[in-house]
Structure 1
């Protein structure tokens, strides 16, 4: 399977800046291998970010997202010690969930 997502959530003022680096190959399905055969599509299709168990961001992605996608956003009302989790599912049915605390 893939390596864990790296999550950094830093409290700033009345909220937090959340940065997530997801490890995934993200094949578009349009690239050819050395033998001239198409490499099958393999990409993250659904992403959900939660704050203390409540979904705060959902996204549907496709094959145009780059390898090892990076996501950054500001989260209001987050404070030190709160839990941020990211869950994703790819087009092959693989899933991954990772979690970190706001620092």
Structure 2
């Protein structure tokens, strides 16, 4: 079970609405107001989603995505029992993933 990815799904008549909430700071490069030192950016740069082992979404993200990003999409031809794998990678090498069944 993922520590950073929350999933909600709704499947009806072959359509599945998938909602993902990813806990991540998604910060831009900035200066510390107290010390004036540079604080490096920390953001998700890749997100991948696969259904039953077949790649569905491969997205490159950047600093313009807000804190704790929310991603929603509709999956056609969805069936109960389909397995989805969601994974992300950030610019500091951190990763997380979760697999769930519709």
TM-score by length of 1: 0.87
The alpha-carbon deviation at position 55 of structure 1 amounts to 0.9
Hey, what does 2:64 align to over in structure 1? 64
Please tell me the root mean square deviation across aligned C-alpha atoms, in Å. 1.7
Conservation of the 8 A alpha-carbon contact between 1:33 and 1:39: no
Do structure 1's residue 8 and structure 2's residue 8 form an aligned pair?
A: yes
Aligned to 2:98: 98
Higher strand proportion (structure 1 or 2)? 2
Range with greater deviation from structure 2 (80-89 or 29-38): 29-38
Deviations 1:53-81 (A, max 9, x none): 11101100001101110000000111112
Distance change >3 Å, CA 31–CA 98, structure 1 → 2: farther
CA distance in 1, matches of 2:36, 2:66: 22
Distance in 2 (alpha carbons) for counterparts of 1:52 and 1:33:
47
Q: Distance in 2 between matches of 1:33 and 1:13?
A: 53
Any gaps of 5 or more consecutive residues in structure 2?
A: none
